[in-house]
Structure 1
Amino acid sequence: MTRLSRRRRLAAVAVIALFAAAGSACSSSAEGPTDGGAYLVWDPYPQFADDSEWVTLLKKCGTSAGVTVERTGYDTTDLTNKALLAAQQGNSPDVLIVDNPVISTLAEAGALTTTDETKLDVSGMEANLLSAGQRDGKTYGVPIGANTLALYYNKDVLTAAGVDPATIKDWTSLTTALTRVKAAGKKGITFSAIGTEEGSFQFLPWFWGSGAQLTSLDSAQAVSALTLWTDWLKQGHAPNSVINNTQTTSWQEFATGEYAFAENGTWQLANAEKLGFTYGIVPIPASAGGPAPAPTGGEFVSIPVQRNTGRYATSQKLVACLTSADNLLTTDSTLSYVAPVGAVQERQVAADPKLKVWVEAVRSAKGRTGDNLGTKYPKISEPLWTAVQAALSGGKSPREALTAAQAAATTR
């Protein structure tokens, strides 16, 4: 495409409202690459200092490629905005690591190279994880790892209620367990249904687990998923606080020891070890049984478009190093991610059997921008979380809320 048309596309895409789960504040600024030996890497891990394992790996990969790596860690949203601006100004970093839903935004803006252009091998990556970085048949990066959602449970609460977690295979058996827990005088399940992307993220396993599709928010299957959640509130199986809960505050509720279940992710594993009770994990069940497809979190390593295309060969070496099997194993342990490669996943489980359920959940997971939705996803997600809020608050029935959501998504 011409430079003018690419700049116009970048300017248009830059105004899209972006979403993502993220870390904390960011560090220093950085200028775009020159023709010198230093290669710039931008990542969404500002929590990692220069002496961390992550930065040590970046420098090691730079040494292997014969270059110096200069790394800057940004808050996720800040990183996305900076990446769009840098692409518009023609001074993008050599390697960019971003939250997987952002890939579609940057690809639509013409800011990223494809893996075919830069000869990146993605053949070993799990297809369901790779799909989050694909658009119109092209792949725009390599997943560095994934996290997703499952159900943590309090073993003491379930034992007192006479519930065997192994029996929880579908929505009926889960609701039966919640009924027994309530009868035993304990609380059922907590989750996040806040009116943000977190709310959509947590609702999607139930939405997809019903057989619903994001292109049809008002389907009978979608209504059944939202009815499940609203019925739980009406029956006292879930607290009214879920309407305002983030994933952090719902975890804090679970940590009190009063709840049988909490929907949350791999990122809580370290906190789970600090709980004052014995916990376990089961996959979120689909309506008719089996694990529900949960949305994937995690980042992609991509190579932005450069004026000097001669830099791509070295950038390719850096990305290949960062996503090699041995480095994925180390990095994903540090980030509490499940690796995007089957063989590495098996090594993770061998090292820590508690990861088995997470590997199973990731293998069933879906990218939010998958099914070629790309940048359409934010236009669907906001009406979806609005519908969840309306139904849980009692403002509308699940069918009314989702009918309004579909109408809103269609007109955006």
Structure 2
Amino acid sequence: MRHSSTSVLGSSLVAAAFVLTACTGGGGNGNGGDGAAEAEGPQTLTVWHYFAEDAQVELMEAYKDKFESANDGVTVDNVYIPYDQMNSRLVNAAGAGEGPDIAVFNGAETSVLALGGALAPLDDYWSGFADADLVQDSVLHSMDDELYAVQGYVNLLGLWYNAEILQELGLEAPTTMDELEDAMAEAEDAGYRGITVSGLPNSQGEWQAYPVLSDAGFNYENLDEAALTSALTRVATWVDEGWLSQEAVTWDQTVPFQEFSAGETAFAINGNWQRGNAAADADFEYGVVALPLSDTGGVYLGGEGQGIGINSANPDLAWQYLEQTYLDSEGQLMALETVGSLPSREDAAENELVTEDEILAPFSETVARFGANYPDPVVPPEAVGDLQVGMGQAWSAVIGKQKSPEDAAADIIATLEGLLD
């Protein structure tokens, strides 16, 4: 999808065939409320996002309605950009003096977009934000001591399970990776599928791989080739045993959950944001537990970053949108109820909608037990893109049987040594 600050802004930009033009009106004054919009007359804010799942699209529309209702004369235009095109289109548009007012993107890729000149610094807005102290520091994305993106929520991976399949087999939800593999084997023997994951050769693949890699003792501070080989051998075994389909190399995180929701698969390593989709699509009893990792295991605390486009004609109004949607307590609870995303504000995170939810509680447990910064702070900002793509490619190559675990580990270790030196 992208490489690093230089290569992404090379190959991926060449791949982008056209640039989207932002539809923006006159600049707002940032004072909030109806008066700001009325004083400037009709205005349009353009929001670029990559959401295709129904619940996520519903949330974008809910934010649109919330902001338009509070600000007469303002229209919010939500524009879908495919995930694998978002970075290149943002950077291309910035170079052409165009682009959205607001961008919603993979928060871990903030440095890629900032290095590409696509985002405006947010420091002045953040320093004036009355509720800044309520927002977790882990959701602030800076580069060179300048803030470029915030997150209105936290997303992470857990282990979804089909409770009816486990009950039929007389099994409990697994608490270790060995128990998970034993359960997958029994499910396969009974005519079910074992597990679904994303095997894309990009940052989504690296995101999906990290818990398995770290469970085996691998991390980016300690480039242990033996530990990495062990982790990749584990997932190769899943494919060899028929528990995981090789088709996973073409699956983003949407397709694996659709496969799980069809009811013939025992497990899915997927996110809290699937709660709404599970309720709508899964015609069976299901549950979630924390990923059954070892003491070295880690789960990325990710989610979408929200930033202001560098060429926004309405930067004050764009920030007003962020304050009243993603960074607002009510707005964060809307994301919780609609999608299942965990709030990044302390007051919203303490709401009973989080603490008493059977699906969200295991994700909250995961944050405490296994939560890991995303991206890893040891990775230089200019290397984030290449590292994510490189590891995603290694993960995908093993699932797709293009490389052995040993070869994939050796190749990516050589790449990582150069990136992290």
CA distance in 1 between partners of 2:348 and 2:113 (Å):
28
Inter-CA distance 395–278: structure 2 relative to 1 (3 Å threshold):
same
Inter-CA distance 216–140: structure 2 relative to 1 (3 Å threshold):
same
1:354 maps to amino acid = I
Q: Give matches, 1:256-275, under 5 Å.
A: 256-273=262-279, 274-275=281-282
- Once the two structures are TM-superposed, the CA of residue 241 in structure 1 deviates from its matched residue by 4.0
CA distance in 2 between partners of 1:51 and 1:205 (Å):
29
| 1:229 lines up with 2:229 in the alignment | no
CA distance in 2 between partners of 1:343 and 1:61 (Å):
22
Local SS of the residue matching 1:285: coil
What is the number of equivalent residue pairs in this alignment? 383
Inter-CA distance 179–342: structure 2 relative to 1 (3 Å threshold):
farther
Deviations 1:10-66 (A, max 9, x none): 999743638xxxxxxxxx953455457336342316775999422112224545xxx
Q: Give matches, 1:4-43, under 5 Å.
A: 14-15=9-10, 17=12, 29-31=21-23, 34-35=26-27, 37=40, 38=43, 40-43=45-48
- Once the two structures are TM-superposed, the CA of residue 263 in structure 1 deviates from its matched residue by 1.6
**1:53 equivalent in structure 2:** 62
- Once the two structures are TM-superposed, the CA of residue 153 in structure 1 deviates from its matched residue by 0.7
**1:293 equivalent in structure 2:** 298
Q: CA RMSD in A?
A: 3.7
Inter-CA distance 335–16: structure 2 relative to 1 (3 Å threshold):
farther
Inter-CA distance 312–43: structure 2 relative to 1 (3 Å threshold):
closer
- Once the two structures are TM-superposed, the CA of residue 233 in structure 1 deviates from its matched residue by 3.0
Instruction: Identify the match of residue 290 of structure 2 among 283, 286, 292.
Output: 283
Q: Which runs of 4+ in 1 moved over 6 A?
A: 10-13
1:59 maps to amino acid = E
| 1:384 lines up with 2:387 in the alignment | no
Deviations 1:246-303 (A, max 9, x none): 43443344344333212222343334233232111112222348xx433345322223
**2:124 equivalent in structure 1:** 117
Inter-CA distance 94–120: structure 2 relative to 1 (3 Å threshold):
farther
2:395 maps to amino acid = V
Structure 2 regions of 5+ residues with no counterpart? Answer: 14-19, 29-39
- Once the two structures are TM-superposed, the CA of residue 90 in structure 1 deviates from its matched residue by 4.3
| 1:127 lines up with 2:137 in the alignment | yes
Instruction: Identify the match of residue 342 of structure 2 among 338, 350, 354.
Output: 338
1:223 maps to amino acid = T
- Once the two structures are TM-superposed, the CA of residue 154 in structure 1 deviates from its matched residue by 1.2
Inter-CA distance 245–11: structure 2 relative to 1 (3 Å threshold):
closer
**2:308 equivalent in structure 1:** 303
**2:151 equivalent in structure 1:** 143
Deviations 1:90-144 (A, max 9, x none): 45554443331342122223443444333254432233333xx233444322212
Instruction: Identify the match of residue 74 of structure 1 among 80, 84, 89.
Output: 80
Instruction: Identify the match of residue 354 of structure 2 among 323, 329, 349.
Output: 349
Deviations 1:355-412 (A, max 9, x none): 2223334564445434154342231233323322443455543232111122234557
CA distance in 1 between partners of 2:158 and 2:374 (Å):
16
Inter-CA distance 96–277: structure 2 relative to 1 (3 Å threshold):
closer
Conserved? CA contact 2:275–2:359, under 8 Å: no
Conserved? CA contact 1:281–1:357, under 8 Å: yes
1:170 maps to amino acid = T
Inter-CA distance 92–390: structure 2 relative to 1 (3 Å threshold):
closer
Conserved? CA contact 2:112–2:385, under 8 Å: no
Inter-CA distance 140–185: structure 2 relative to 1 (3 Å threshold):
same
- Bigger drift between 153-162 and 214-223 goes to 214-223
Structure 1 regions of 5+ residues with no counterpart? Answer: 1-9, 19-27
1:68 maps to amino acid = V
- Once the two structures are TM-superposed, the CA of residue 240 in structure 1 deviates from its matched residue by 4.2
CA distance in 1 between partners of 2:59 and 2:293 (Å):
43
- Once the two structures are TM-superposed, the CA of residue 326 in structure 1 deviates from its matched residue by 1.6
CA distance in 2 between partners of 1:312 and 1:259 (Å):
46
Q: TM-score, normalization: structure 1?
A: 0.77
1:88 maps to amino acid = G
CA distance in 2 between partners of 1:91 and 1:236 (Å):
48
Conserved? CA contact 2:263–2:283, under 8 Å: yes
CA distance in 2 between partners of 1:256 and 1:341 (Å):
34
Local SS of the residue matching 2:10: coil
**2:410 equivalent in structure 1:** 403
**1:321 equivalent in structure 2:** 324
Q: TM-score, normalization: structure 2?
A: 0.75
Local SS of the residue matching 1:262: strand
